[in-house]
Amino acid sequence: MRFYCSILVGALLAPLVNCQRSTPSGRPSLPQVYETTITIPLPNEGHLQVHDPNVVLWDNHYYLFKGGVHIPFFKAASMSGPWTPIGTVLGGDSIIHQGNRSRPWAPTTVERNGTFYCYYTLSTSGSRKSAIGVATSTALDGSPWTDHGALIRTGDGPGSEVWPFTVTNAIDASFIRDDETGTAYLNYGSFWHDIWQVALTDDWLSIESPAKPNATQLTFVPDETVRPEEGSWMSHHEGYYYLWFSHGTCCNFEKRGFPHRDQEYSIRVGRSRNVRGPFVDRAGTRLLDGGGTVVYASNHGLVYAPGGLGILPGNSSTPDLLYYHYLNTSIGFQDDQAQLGYNYLKYDQGWPVVLEGIVVQSSAAMMSRLPDMYMTFILGLWMAVLAAL
């Protein structure tokens, strides 16, 4: 009986665990660029070309939003795909007359009471003339979204003369709620004065007190001319708020050239008991003093410049999930060649650590594979019967 139970358990669990590895098919000969460490796990492959991904788990499916023309988004039963195009958030160019209105960057979508809020960026590379807008919808089926316009402008336009918008860059918005008060905050920023946080109004469609924003600085690189921190994300786990961000050079490597090793994008983190900080890294250095613990970086000579990250919170049976874009050195270094990668997390003394390989599938993906599961079970049972004979 114990033997048959083992066959049954193995047959049922086998389709639910998928350990993936990337194998380089050929690597460009620029050895000074690549980190060859094997101490960092390879990514689970998302099988989607994407830059600055944002993933929402809704109704047992994953919805992925990415920077692109009018903000395209996709649907899948598993983080590994296949991904089905659903539509775009914007039906045309943004109503905000700033930056590249047709191709917003770095969307972040959150849900409240059946309404989805997509915060997006308009800017041009190397400029502080930027804006963060928001659009809403009550469905993720390709129905039209409502574009509500700008929450924040920097460098130019209404409100850009108000501190801290006079010194910051309004890109890369992310969202967090205070676990105790329910107050919503928008995190944003890039280079210049790095990453900041402002309080939102109760409807999440504008910032609180726009003439005198409730703002706080979250990260800073002192004593440096260039301060390469951006793409922030905030998560909550067992009493701590974790501030994640991308540090380093991200893009246009073939045009700008490659930075010295370890100066390309890497994913870093700090934590605080308070949603407003101050945040410190694992060594105790404040993020405002240039701190940040590296959680994921270039590795194996295959993964280069991972960043543009987000966190999907886990539950009692699924760990937290870190997702990001990265350049696969066997594919290329153009921005439009960036790939979706993800890894599950464990916490070592309260600090996130990337796990190797395991893919936990959603119930929708499990259901789609039930025929294969039953065939595996029947085959296993038949082999057991033959062995018993």
Judge contact between 49 and 61, C-beta under 8 A.
no
Output the CA torsion 329→106→188→61 (10° steps). -100
* Residue 127 φ/ψ region, left for φ over 0, alpha for ψ in the -120 to 50 degree band, beta for the rest: beta
Is beta strand 351-354 parallel, antiparallel or unpaired with respect to 266-272?
unpaired
The residues pairing with 240 across neighbouring beta strands, listed in sequence order, are 237
Q: How far apart are CA 43 and CA 37, in angstroms?
A: 14
Q: What residue has token string 């974790």?
A: 242
Record the tokens describing residue 187, joined without a space: 């995190």
Q: How far apart are CA 335 and CA 254, in angstroms?
A: 9
Catalytic pick from 35, 194, 230, 264? 230
Q: How far apart are CA 176 and CA 335, in angstroms?
A: 28
- CB-CB neighbours of 227 under 10 Å: 20
Judge contact between 80 and 46, C-beta under 8 A.
yes
Judge contact between 22 and 328, C-beta under 8 A.
yes
Catalytic pick from 52, 264, 281, 320? 52
- Report residue 96: phi and psi, to 5°: -85, 125
The one-letter amino acid at 173 = A
Indicate if 230 belongs to the active site.
Answer: yes
Q: How far apart are CA 229 and CA 246, in angstroms?
A: 6
Judge contact between 115 and 121, C-beta under 8 A.
no
Catalogue the active-site residues. 52, 230
